[in-house]
Structure 1
Amino acid sequence: MNVRSCLRKWPIWLATLTAGFLVLLHAWQGTAVATFPPTSQIAQAGGQFQVAYGPVKNAEFAPFRQVMQESRLYETIAEELNKVLRLPTDVTISLAECGTENAFYSADHKSIVMCDELLAYFGKLFAPTATSDQDLGESMLYTNLFVFFHELGHGLIDLYDLPTTGREEDAVDEFSTILLLEAGTDGEKAVLNAAHWFALQSEQQSEDLAFWDEHSLDLQRFYGIACLVYGKDPEKFSDLVKDGLLPEARAQRCGREYAKKSQSWDTLLAPHVRS
């Protein structure tokens, strides 16, 4: 598949996903629980999400960056997040060359960094299994957005000093999954493409697995996402079980798991949502 040719359709997909995301954010805003009194820090919060673009030195990344900037996807997301969340300080969403295939939240700089190399990596990863340029473009874009909301989860845990049990990486995988599943069809595509990403990476892992890493293994992350997807709507996503992608023994618990984790995030974020 031709990665560059898929860029022509990206603005359409970006606009569609953005529209669904905005609907979700306004619905999320309505879930604030009045019984949580705002702390003095929250009441005085004046921080905002803002977007910054680093220089593009590698010509390979220029087409991707151009589309992302012209679409104003991250600016739109930042604007809507600012309407919904009270921040104690400014947070920068930065698109940059990093020298490695990565994305991360920096607690020191209060920034979410989305690396150009990661988007290019997704192009190479999904190209062999893509059925068309459109399929490839969607896989790249949607998976990148899953990563963004994963990093946003890290940011919110830091900014609000939220408690987590177990691995923080698992918690923010769940945050990104739940948030996107509630955003409609495009959000569901983002989550399913992220699951596909972990499945493909698991096939490429060597026998010397990184048990020491803070992330769960790719196949574990795949099953965690698949369970939440199925738990959100067992009827709609019944093929996950029928096709053997999610074991029936695990699927039986997924409805309760989704409800519990979704409510937990709602409860944690409620004091920080603007009324």
Structure 2
Amino acid sequence: MVLAGTVMAGCAGEAHDTGQEPGAGPRPQAARSGKVTVVYEPGTVAPEDREAVALIRNSRVLERSADWVNRSLTLPHDMVVKVTAAVPEGVTDAVTQPDGRTIFIPPSFLAEIEKALADVVKTVERPAQFPASEYNTDDLTVLSTEFIFGHEMGHALQRQLLLANLGLEEDAADGYASFYTVNEVGPGPSLAAAILFDEIARKEGVPTLERLSSDHPITQQRAYNFLCYLYGSDPKKYQRSLVDSGDLPKTRAPLCPQAWAMLDYGWWTQLRPHFSAPFKARGDEEQKKAHARLIAETNALAERINEIRKSQ
């Protein structure tokens, strides 16, 4: 399935010379901030992919993410997001080039997402936490695409800003998607992405050696991670819809508030040196609040860790 390859194996793109010696450290910031622009190339879109492209274009979810970066951060280089079939050879899914300056989103990739979610709506009972009014192919496609684009934006920011990373870049990119959408959009993208990835995992079946050895986590695990971060952001709000419903296992849920607090603080801290002047006051305050919450959640986890271990 093309979509499975997209989500599991994409993102890398082609290598380019960065113009730096190994170990040279972060590039100095440019005098002006680079801007993120979204470009659609309709002349390259095949007839069978036009509906999906029009849906995403009219929703403006790509532009919403780009606008947040433009308002909030100072980039050393411009970044262009191209919705086009004119992609580098071998690219079949959303990818971010290694220099973080270009994100390619093939129209066929958007059509694959739309097709997969059309199957979900027909064959899968609506999860309790997902609003009935949005459990349709169009809304699910828009919301899950917003999350997946957040993943690619996470790659682009890590690469342009040369952010320090304590784990796999793919995990960090998923983390940025959760960080951005939970804080700036709401629960919809995380929920829709979990539904999509659950469908992909079901169609993939038993993980192959290739998938087990991939730099991406196993698809089903990623779906649970999305739900974990969302639940951890507001346990009282999501206890009934995510945990009591059984969608997020009770063995995982107790770890999620601290996991979210660490993710949230981590991204605010990584981005802090790159805040734009107009955003700096808000960004500094968000980072300060995230730090306080991380301390509180870590202390709370320490108090109940023995009980949690016994239940697992």
TM superposition score category, shorter chain reference: 0.7 to 0.9
SS in 2 for 1:213: coil
Partner of residue 97 from structure 2, selected from 106, 109, 120: 106
Structure-2 separation of matches of 1:115 and 1:244: 35
Distance verdict in 2 for CA 1:225–1:92, change over 3 Å: same
8 Å CA contact 1:103–1:113 kept in 2: the answer is yes
Compute the TM-score of the two structures, normalised by the length of structure 1: 0.77
- 1:41 is the counterpart of 2:28: yes
Give 1:232's aligned amino acid. S
SS in 2 for 1:50: strand
Give 1:137's aligned amino acid. D
- 1:130 is the counterpart of 2:121: yes
8 Å CA contact 2:92–2:108 kept in 1: the answer is yes
Q: Which has the higher contact order (CA 8 A, sep 6+)?
A: 1
SS in 1 for 2:136: helix
Partner of residue 261 from structure 1, selected from 260, 263, 277: 263
Stretches of structure 1 lacking an aligned partner (at least 5 in a row): 1-38
8 Å CA contact 1:48–1:82 kept in 2: the answer is yes
Distance verdict in 2 for CA 1:166–1:78, change over 3 Å: closer
What residue in structure 2 maps to residue 216 of structure 1? 217
Distance verdict in 2 for CA 1:241–1:94, change over 3 Å: same
Distance verdict in 2 for CA 1:230–1:90, change over 3 Å: same
SS in 1 for 2:216: coil
Shift of 1:191: 0.8
Shift of 1:205: 1.4
8 Å CA contact 1:100–1:117 kept in 2: the answer is no
CA deviation profile, 1:208-250 (whole Å, cap 9, x unmatched) = 5211111100111011111111101112211221122222221
SS in 2 for 1:203: helix
SS in 2 for 1:178: helix
Distance verdict in 2 for CA 1:202–1:85, change over 3 Å: same
Root mean square deviation of aligned Cα: 2.4
SS in 2 for 1:41: coil
Structure-1 separation of matches of 2:48 and 2:207: 32
What residue in structure 1 maps to residue 202 of structure 2? 203
8 Å CA contact 2:53–2:111 kept in 1: the answer is no
Distance verdict in 2 for CA 1:271–1:201, change over 3 Å: same
Structure-1 separation of matches of 2:246 and 2:56: 36
Structure-2 separation of matches of 1:95 and 1:195: 23
Shift of 1:129: 2.7
Compute the TM-score of the two structures, normalised by the length of structure 2: 0.69
Give 1:86's aligned amino acid. T
CA deviation profile, 1:94-125 (whole Å, cap 9, x unmatched) = 10125865111112471111221121111211
8 Å CA contact 2:45–2:84 kept in 1: the answer is no
Distance verdict in 2 for CA 1:56–1:66, change over 3 Å: farther
**Percent of residue pairs bearing the same amino acid type:** 28
- 1:88 is the counterpart of 2:76: yes
Shift of 1:81: 2.5
